[in-house]
Amino acid sequence: MDTIKMKAYAKVNLSLDILGKRPNGYHDVEMIMQQITLYDDIEIRKTDQDITIHTDCYYVPSDSRNIAYKIAKDVLEMKHIESGIHIEIKKVIPVAAGLAGGSADAAGVIMGLNILFDLNMSLEEMKEIAVKHGADIPFCIEGGAAVARGIGEELEVIPSLKNTWMVLVKPPIGVSTQSVYKNFDLDKVEKHPDNEKLIEAMHKNDYRFIAKNMYNVLEEVTSKRHSIIGQIESKMREYGALGTMMSGSGPTVFGIFKNYKKAETASKHLRRKYKDVFLVQAYDGGRHE
């Protein structure tokens, strides 16, 4: 085998809570993450050169700054692989959107290399390598749905939502994750998600409870700077969303709908005003029941 093709799936947060800040600057979190059927296409090809990478998105680095490149370099060196590789990434997941697009690509690369070179790495081994490059990458390797704790790398796998439709809107603004966390003040947070009850609802596939009770403590930081977040959420509810929230540090907003028809109608309305609108389902990662 000289070439492998992978799908790198995005995620949304169904909750995001921050419990404290570590001396090294990282935050302790507890959040529920769910993969969705929005993905980038990745092709990895063996070559005679070192590592080359190309994306069809001009503002995504096509060099050693890309975390997909970094994780590939780490694996090739660690496993003493002398072959070069070329990585081709076709972007669909919006960049810097709170959907873990870069982390998903990095996860797709390490999983692809595992197959391409018959490395027989376990999920745990891949996650151990991956966490050095980003706290969301282990989840993107695990797939499905999980509760993430620590800095995001401690995963408790839970059942994915089933038969659930979501509409995503990425507004035409950029949000720096680092800036959002920097401006977050835990002492001023008045509301936290009830993750215990949300986890219980995930086990029951009670998407109505989840839609009405999901909460993201970072949303207040981002929405204060960008009123468009609240505007999109209002439109989502107007078009029938059972609940709506910002994913990650933003700015993508998603809504949960009870059926495909309502979600499709909402997405059509929202596309009249916003360019990046996606109609997706929860995805179980291909492994979990």
Q: What are the residue boundaries of the structural domains of the chain, listed by start?
A: 3-158, 165-281
Q: Sign of torsion, CA 209 211 213 214?
A: positive
Could you tell me which residues are beta bridge partners of residue 219? none
As a whole-number percent, the residues of the chain with pLDDT over 70 amount to: 99
Q: Does residue 157 sit in helix, strand or coil?
A: strand
Instruction: Give me the architecture of the 3-158 domain, per CATH.
Output: 2-Layer Sandwich (3.30)
For residue 192, the one-letter residue type is: H
The per-residue pLDDT for range 173-219, each reduced to its tens digit, is 988 888 898 889 998 999 999 999 999 999 999 999 999 999 999 99
The per-residue pLDDT for range 133-142, each reduced to its tens digit, is 999 999 999 9
Banded model confidence at residue 33, pLDDT cuts 50, 70, 90 = very high
| Residues carrying an active site annotation | 11, 136
Q: Which CATH number fits domain 165-281: 3.30.830.10, 3.40.1160.10, 3.40.50.720, 3.30.70.890?
A: 3.30.70.890
Q: How far is CA 72 from the centre of its chain?
A: 20
CA atoms within 13 A on the CB side of 287: 12
